[in-house]
Structure 1
Amino acid sequence: MVTPIRRALATCVPLLWFVRVADGMPDPAQRDLLTRQETSRQTGGRVTLTAAELKLDVQLRRLKEREMSAAPFPPAVHFFNAKPLIQESPVFKLLQEMPKGAALHVHASSLVGVDWLVKNVTYRPHCYVCFTWDNSVRFVFSDRRPFPRWDCVYWQLLEALRARLGDPTGFDDGLMQHLTLFTEDPDGEYPSQEVVWEKFERAFVAAAGLITHAPVLRDYFYKGLEELLHDNILYLELRSGLSKTYELDGAVHDKVWTLKTFREVTRTFRADHPDFLGARVIVSVHRALSVSEVKAAVKEAIQLQKDFPDVVAGFDMVGREDGGRALWYFREALSLPADLGVTLPYFFHAGETDDEGTDVDQNILDALLFNTTRIGHGFALAHHPLAKELSRKRNVAVELCPISNQVLRLVSDLRNHPAAVLMSEGHPMVISSDDPSLFGTTGLSYDFYEAFVGIGGLRANLGTLKELALNSIRYSSLPAHLKDAGLVMWQKKWDAFIFNNS
């Protein structure tokens, strides 16, 4: 009987033999063979391209070579400074046209650009603003002036405030600064991970009062799907805490109402745009909660998935991993579905850290122990050979969010991103955007650019892009028949993209 270990060793013998016999000048034919074998292992390395695709691939390589020889090289520069350079890139413009499949790692509070929040939502009637003691803002819609509270002593009606200002352009720009991380001096303003994460979390809180107003939430969901479709994305999996929503008179809706609204908006959007496949929710809770609170949240997620099987994809824990509680801390709560004999798919954030050897660093292995369906970020995965092997064998994809990792200061030059190792090995992977509104992006094109040009380097080709796009549908939570429908829909868009650009 040939064991898997013997089979693996047998495949290595020819390669080892090449190395042993190359005492003098190496055989060029052997070198070419080794190069082809290594290339075949990378993401997209086994994708067979058509004649038209090969023609476009040659064009892409030429464009990429030109960008990699230029200075400054955008992936080596902080995204906030590189964004104007990327927008001028011919590679980026091609990526905007390319059908990218699905966005599988996006947080609900940052789905829509801050321009729309400020220039549309804050201009609606009955919108109040309050400036807090910690240099942040709070918004609320109310049919009367809100009562003072601990963080907001004085509420002002935005309509009246803008009328007094005359030209509110500068004021609106200031509001946007509270809802995004963007700055012209990112290194100076965010000297550490702690500083950028503090601003990051304040921006979420600031946006909450706008997004959770019931009439806004409907429009917000629809607008978010519009922005995705505009970037040639056909499906979304949205991480959401399903925060309670409120009406003008203060009446509050529960999570069931939010899920029903999400389902209704998605159905309406699909009716308006038949080339969009749909959207689902990954119910999320913050890792700052207690074990008992997470246990209650897991029970609730089980029920919500039972009641909304077409909408609820599974469960995740969000919030900064460094300084937060590790997954193992919540083992009693996370074991609950198995104890009850039910299935609740997990989509854990894990390995969004550069602190090797800590309890948080162990989240990668613990996520796999709890049978996570995908790994959110997985920045630390390359440093865990066993976890990497397990995730590959189980076909657990990494949700790579390169711009997020750079902005939140895990890596400065994206050529040095650990995912370069994963891509060279063809590890299961999808590209996503994490918190696009906070980073000043929409859709996936910017993140695809950083992954394709920066992380993938010259080896990444059209086959890489094709596999990454297909992966986003293959590794989605969709049932098999909808995955098949999505692949057909994507292929039609892909063929048109190739025809228009080759």
Structure 2
Amino acid sequence: MGASLLHAAVTLLWLAATTGFLDPTRRDQLMRQEASRQTGGGVALTPAEQRLDNRLHRMKVHEMEAKPFPPSIHFFKAKKLIRDSPIFKLLQDMPKGGALHIHSSSLVSAEWLVKNATYRPNCYVCFTWDNSVRFVFSQQQPYPRWDCFYWQLLSTLRAKVADQSAFDASLLKYLTLVTDDPDGEYPNQDVVWDKFEKTFIAAEGLISHAPVMKDYLLEGLSELHRDNVMYLELRSQLARTYELDGTIHDRIWTLRIFQDVTRKFVADHPDFVGARMILSVHRASSASKVKAAVEEALALRREFPDVVAGFDLVGREDRGSPLWYFRDALSLPARRGLDLPYFFHAGETDKEGTETDQNVLDALLFNASRIGHGYALAHHPLAKEISRLGQVAVEVCPISNQVLKLVSDLRNHPAAVLMSEGHPLVISSDDPSMLGTTGLSYDFYQAFVGIGGLRANVGTLKELALNSIRFSSLPPNLKDAAKVVWQKKWDSFVSAHS
């Protein structure tokens, strides 16, 4: 809203308050002005989109009267309710654009890992002292190590159990956070994050096996495509992959596999526009290791300019060092006059006033292209304004924020404020396999029904989907091509559901 328009609105409210004169026409004008500021508020709807909007509004009114209201309860308890929702079924059909915030170790459903990867020959398992598991593929029984003293061949172990389905279900619990009693099992953030990090370690032994890696990436793209997602930006620490004979591949090999799998998938699915990778390093690393990771990212971006999108720091912000601690490493590309886009996790915290909380401002100081999570951004008016005016989009991951105990009722998510102000946002799923989801539909549901409330409409959905292309790392010509593909799918979707 411009300064003159804001002044007029404030004057109108003051006159109404002091004179007692309430003009319904002026009230309607104010309400329209406010609605025009929200995400999607400036989108002009076609007649077909208006019909769909009316239908969705009626569905949402009915849904919001439900007890319990799905976004108000923990996702693990709400999932079945959401799955049965007619709004969710409609959102599954909706072309959602791109997934811009997903981690490589959680790209593919945990069910696929158990049913596919763990059934392959030469797969060993070890149950650790801290109630976790480790997997490795080996031609012979692996040597004991500090966390694994006894490795068992999974095929032999399965042959000994009477109920293999129950056994597979028990393995699944090590690879996800899903539980029937989330509040009891995860009473605070420390407990849920400890389990969260164990699931990553457990999955890594399966995913980093070279033959599994190739199929894993292909399955990940397929799961996204089935959910009507057409593009991916994958955050990855590029763990070294290994062969059965112990051969270790370097990061360049992994990037080439990622590139080859993506090209093949796009060739077989012309409506999928591609995938790129955001290289990352854990924020608990030393300053020297982060500097080395930035150096490597610059080199890999030169070698794979169409694949490497940029760089990020990952891991729990509250336990890792803040961005400012790594300022020497993060300012290195600018000092050399080189381009390395940043997509920082920043503000994934509810600890206001801490160094972690300041990451949102530091991310902007380092010229981040997008902000991952940005949960704390609503508490930083200056950073929020810089982000909005600079069109630095926030990657909102509703289910992840709820499961990791930043917010219990998604109607209270800070993104509701950002949405009402038309702040640039994209919706993503963060760690879908760990959270019991695939694709983006569940997170779109939570954003549309819970965070957006009744005011979120078809224009909101349209803008959020287009934002995922607009704020992607794709070059302008590919963004334009992706928008053409998306628009065709969107028109078909609206026609089918209006």
Relative to the length of structure 2, the TM-score reads 0.99
Partner of 1:34: 30
Q: 2:68 corresponds to which residue?
A: 72
One-letter amino acid of the counterpart of residue 230, structure 2: L
In the aligned structure 2, how far is the partner of 1:500 from the partner of 1:485?
23
The aligned residue for residue 351 of structure 1 is 347
Residue in structure 2 matching 1:439, options 435, 449, 452: 435
Partner of 2:3: 9
Whether 2:407 is the aligned partner of 1:408: answer no
Which of 72, 88, 91 aligns to 1:92? It is 88
Please state how far the C-alpha of 1:323 moved relative to its aligned partner: 2.0
Letter of the structure 2 residue corresponding to residue 54 of structure 1: Q
Name the counterpart of 1:199.
195
Paired position in structure 2 for 1:3: none
Q: What amino acid maps onto 1:469 in structure 2?
A: A
State the one-letter code of the partner of 1:201: E
Equivalent residue number for residue 215 of structure 2: 219
Q: Which residue of 1 aligns with 2:258?
A: 262
Q: Is the 8 A contact 2:284 2:319 kept in 1?
A: no
Deviation at 1:8, TM superposition (A): 4.3
Deviation of 1:20 after TM superposition, in Å, equals: 2.4
Identify which of 259, 266, 271 aligns with 2:267: 271
User: Which whole-Å CA distance do the structure 2 matches of 1:385 and 1:404 have between them?
Assistant: 24
Find the aligned partners of 1:212 and 1:194 in 2 and give their Cα distance.
27
**1:138 paired residue number:** 134
Cα deviation, residue 21, structure 1: 1.9
Correspondence for 1:478: 474
Q: Give the equivalent residue in structure 1 for 2:460.
A: 464
1:18 maps to which of 12, 25, 49: 12
Counterpart Cα distance in 2 of 1:87 and 1:165 = 33
Distance 2:225 2:353 in 1: 41
Partners of 2:163 and 2:411 lie apart in 1 by 44
Q: Does 1:490 align with 2:467?
A: no
CA offsets 1:74-114 (integer angstroms, 9 cap, x no match):
00010000000000000000000000000000000000001
SS of equivalent residue, structure 1 residue 55: helix
Equivalence map 1:315-330=2 (5 Å) = 315-330=311-326
The Cα offsets for residues 170-206 of structure 1, whole Å up to 9 and x where unpaired, read as 1111100000000000000000000000000000000
Query: Deviation digits for residues 201-241 of structure 1, max 9, x if unmatched?
Result: 00000000000000000000000000000000000000000
The counterpart of 1:366, out of the listed 358, 362, 366, is 362
Whole-angstrom distance in 2 between the partners of 1:462 and 1:243: 40
2:102 is paired with a residue of what secondary structure? strand
Q: 1:386 aligned to 2:382?
A: yes
Distance in 1 (alpha carbons) for counterparts of 2:143 and 2:14: 80
Aligned AA for 1:424?
S
Secondary structure at the aligned position of 1:140 is classed as strand
Q: Give RMSD over aligned pairs.
A: 0.8
Cα deviation 1:455-481 (Å, max 9, x = unaligned): 000000000000000000000000000
Q: CA deviation at 1:393?
A: 1.2
Task: Indicate whether 1:417 and 2:413 are aligned.
Answer: yes
Other-structure match for 1:248: 244
Q: Do 2:235 and 2:280's aligned partners in 1 also have CA atoms closer than 8 Å? A: yes
Instruction: Give deviations 1:312-368, integer Å, cap 9, x for gaps.
Output: 000000000012110000001101101111010000000000000000000000000
Measure, in 2, the Cα distance between the counterparts of 1:203 and 1:56: 40
Give the structure 2 partner of residue 167 of structure 1: 163
User: Of residues 82, 102, 109 in structure 1, which corresponds to 2:78?
Assistant: 82
Shift of 1:381: 0.3
SS in 1 for 2:405: coil
Structure 1: gaps spanning 5 or more residues: 1-6
1:217-270, Cα deviation, whole Å (9 max, x unpaired): 000000000000000000000000000000000100000000000000001111
Moved more, 158-167 or 318-327: 158-167
Q: Across the two proteins, how many residue pairs are aligned to each other?
A: 496
Q: Distance in 1 between matches of 2:21 and 2:2?
A: 28
Q: What is the aligned partner in structure 2 of residue 4 from structure 1?
A: none
Q: Which 5+ residue runs of structure 2 have no aligned equivalent?
A: none
Structure 1 residue runs of 4+, over 3 Å off? none
Q: Aligned to 2:100, which of 104, 108, 117?
A: 104
Deviation, 1:13, is: 2.4
Query: Match for 1:454 among 450, 457, 471?
Result: 450
In 1, Cα distance between equivalents of 2:382 and 2:7: 23
Q: Which residue number corresponds to residue 331 of structure 1?
A: 327
Tell me which amino acid in the other structure corresponds to 2:14: R
1: CA distance, partners of 2:75 / 2:372:
20
Q: Within 2, Cα distance between the matches of 1:19 and 1:47?
A: 27
Kindly indicate whether the alpha-carbon contact (under 8 Å) linking 2:15 and 2:21 is maintained by their aligned counterparts in 1.
Answer: no
Q: What is the match of residue 48 of structure 1?
A: 44
Counterpart residue identity of residue 75, structure 1 = P
1:375 aligns with 2:375: no
1:19 offset after TM fit, Å?
1.5
SS at structure 1 position matched to 2:203: helix
2: CA distance, partners of 1:16 / 1:183: 50
Looking at structure 2, the residues matched to 70 and 12 of structure 1 have their Cα atoms a distance apart, in angstroms, of: 37
Deviation for aligned residue 1:441 = 0.3
| 1:312 corresponds to | 308
Three-state SS of the structure 1 residue aligned to 2:400 is: helix
SS class of match (2:50): helix
Deviates more, 1:335-344 or 1:470-479: 335-344
SS in 2 for 1:253: coil
